[in-house]
Chains A and B, each alone.
Chain A
Amino acid sequence: MAGHSSAVASHTGDNPFLRVVAALSTLAGWCSAAMIVSAVAITCQMIVVRFVLNRSTVWQTEAVIYLVIAATLIGLPYVQRLRGHVNVDLIPISLAPRPRFVMAILTSLLSIAIVSIMVIYGYEYWHFAWQRGWKSDTVWGVRLWIPYLALPVGFGLLLLQLIADLVAVLLGIDKPFGLEDS
């Protein structure tokens, strides 16, 4: 269920592939946290500029929005690794070990399929913006390929983590849905 603050990471054993992916996801998590902190700092700076110095702000609002978007997308693999994406585990919990295993494989494959779609079309969208030199229609005029880059990168890393989770269940390194046998 939602809201548990304990972070139980998925197991990697001593499988090199799983460990590399786990390290990548953790790095992504640090980046995501750093971007959220920067968003706090920039917003506070913006308030000082606007309300204390009485000047207008140009780039801050847009920068903060893109930072939060990037923090979300880049943070996806890390949250997956911590099993932080909320799910309804009522049925998996009530299943016997064998069907639970099959169910875990099935949901993994579904997740991998949808995230692959997001990676492919996310890359295409980013590529368009890069090739055609799209810019945001604000005073700041950001080159949009920069924020859009978070789409293929975030979903790409999430895809990697999902594949790693599937491999861990198949190899018996991790339990299906991370549930202990009851």
Chain B
Amino acid sequence: MDPLLLGAIVAIATILVLFSGVSVALGLLIVSAVFLLIFDGARSLELMPELLFGKLDNFALLSIPMFIIMGSSIASTRAGADLYEALERWLTRVPGGLVVSNLGACALFAAMSGSSPATCAAIGKMGIPEMRKRGYPDGVAAGSIAAGGTLGILIPPSVTMIVYGIATETSIGRLFLAGVIPGLMLVGLFMAWSLYSTWKSGNAAQLGAGSYTWAQRFEILPRVLPFLGIILGVLYAMYGGIATPSETAAVGALLCLLIAMIIYRLWNPKDLWVVLRDSTKESVMILFIIAAAGVFSYMLSSLFITQSIAEWIGTLEVNRWVLMGVVNVFLLIAGFFLPPVAVILMAAPILLPIIDTAGFDPIWFAVVLTINMEIGLISPPVGLNLYVINGIAPDISLKTILTGSLPFVACMVLAILLLCLFPSLATWLPDMVMGAAR
């Protein structure tokens, strides 16, 4: 059979199987097994456990549970609330300071915890009621937190970027750096929109600011600086060439756990177990998808599907930007239904040859892909962050949260366009720190 036609059949089968509600990892194994059985014979099934084990046999994977432990130990403490308060106290004089400090707290907390829903919950619980009390429109209050929470998968250290690095064999260090400037750019765009729409709503006059003494401002610092210090230390160790991402992540995980225990008194074995249980649960889920996706991509290349798609794209007479547009729409749709890591793992073996053939930089593409995934997190029908916000602010209607989030989706689309116009937004920092890629 023509590999391209076969590829289309595999794609349809995968969609059908995944939409049946079976878990993503097992779904990928089922599709792989069926097609290997039909086209390579029963003996190829014997290879599956070996392939699966082989895919996990990689030291870089250690960084996934390590960064997850870092994030969930931070998320289990009051660190989010402290961070929010610290920024509020320090930024109170800035016009529109409250929404600025909320978005800043979201960005920082999302980077540290790496979890979108945790960020929305931690910052939103304090931030949303406070913003509404001071006259910010409901839509801005809800939307800014929903959008701010998505930044965690872009700003380093990001588990999503690690998974992309592993799936596509690109440098995790470069990927982390590539997310920094676009992440800051997104924060800037979010802030600009929030301030503009608050001003337009006509409530700007009553946006009173709380006032704090310098003593109050300094008093809160000892509680937030250690975590920030660890994150910066981890990034320094990685780029200083001191240790690999996995090694620094392990040290970071240990330190974050210790800080949570010492500063936030997370001593109770039950509370510690919750941190460990959640980390184990999420790590196992992601690692199993990685392993299953490895078997899936073996199936694709053993049936010559991957190679044929790349060849076919090469012969297409389409503009590469049209191609990029199509890829983006595909990712956007996939992101509506699936968590970022699952989309990346499934799409990477198919998309990367396309991206390569069309001459796009895989590091730059990682950033575009990640922003696409962020859009998925705040878009209906399954945008997770929308429901988290709905949970912590039940008196704001889902419709208001939705319409409040849409302008932030537009900011993300704008960011993707800017990245297409100026690719160096993503590639400049990694090239400067680590030397030119090729």
Chain A positions near chain B (C-beta within 8 angstroms) = 1-5, 7, 29, 32-33, 36-37, 39-41, 43-44, 46-47, 51, 61, 64-65, 68-69, 71-72, 75-76, 78-80, 82, 84-92, 103-104, 106-107, 110-111, 113-115, 117-118, 121-122, 124-125, 147-148, 151, 155, 177
Contact = CB atoms under 8 A, between A and B. Distances in A.
Nearest to B58: A65
B61 A68 contact: yes
Contact of B251 (A47, A88, A147): A47
B214 interface: no
Given A85-B24, A114-B29, A117-B33, A68 B287 contact: yes
B255 to A, nearest CB: 10
Interface in B252-304: 253-254, 273, 276-285, 287-289, 291
List the 7 closest A-B pairs by CB distance, nearest first: A2-B339, A85-B23, A43-B250, A75-B284, A122-B49, A92-B21, A72-B287
Contact of B45 (A44, A79, A117): A117
Contacts, number: 197
Contacts of A148: 53
Contact of A33 (B20, B280, B285): B280
A14 to B, nearest CB: 24
A86 B289 contact: yes
Contacts of A2: 285, 338-342, 384
A117 B285 contact: no
B56 interface: yes
Contacts of A29: 277, 280
Interface residues of B, number: 69
A148 B57 CA distance: 11
B337 interface: yes
B242 interface: yes
Contacts of A76: 284, 288
Given A84-B284, A87-B22, 15 more contacts: A2-B340, A5-B278, A33-B273, A33-B276, A41-B254, A47-B243, A47-B250, A69-B53, A76-B288, A78-B281, A79-B285, A79-B288, A86-B289, A113-B30, A124-B46
Given A69-B53, A125-B49, A85 B287 contact: no
Contacts of B276: 33, 36-37
Contact of B338 (A4, A69, A88, A104): A88
A43 B62 contact: yes
Given A36-B280, A71-B280, A87-B24, A1 B384 contact: yes
B65 A36 contact: yes
B170 interface: no
B69 A88 contact: no
Contacts of B72: 5
Contact of B26 (A3, A85, A90): A85
Most buried by B among A5, A79, A80, A85: A5
B251 A78 contact: no
Contacts of B382: 1, 90
Interface string B79-108: 000000000000000000000000000000
A61 B62 CA distance: 10
Contacts of A106: 20
Contact of B243 (A51, A71, A84, A155): A51
Interface stretch (B112-120, B128-136, B313-321, B392-400): B112-120
A157 B337 CA distance: 29
Interface string B223-257: 00000000000000000001100110011011000
Most buried by A among B21, B25, B61: B21
Given A89-B21, A114-B30, A151 B53 contact: yes
A40 B384 contact: no
Interface in B98-156: 115-118
A71 B285 CA distance: 11
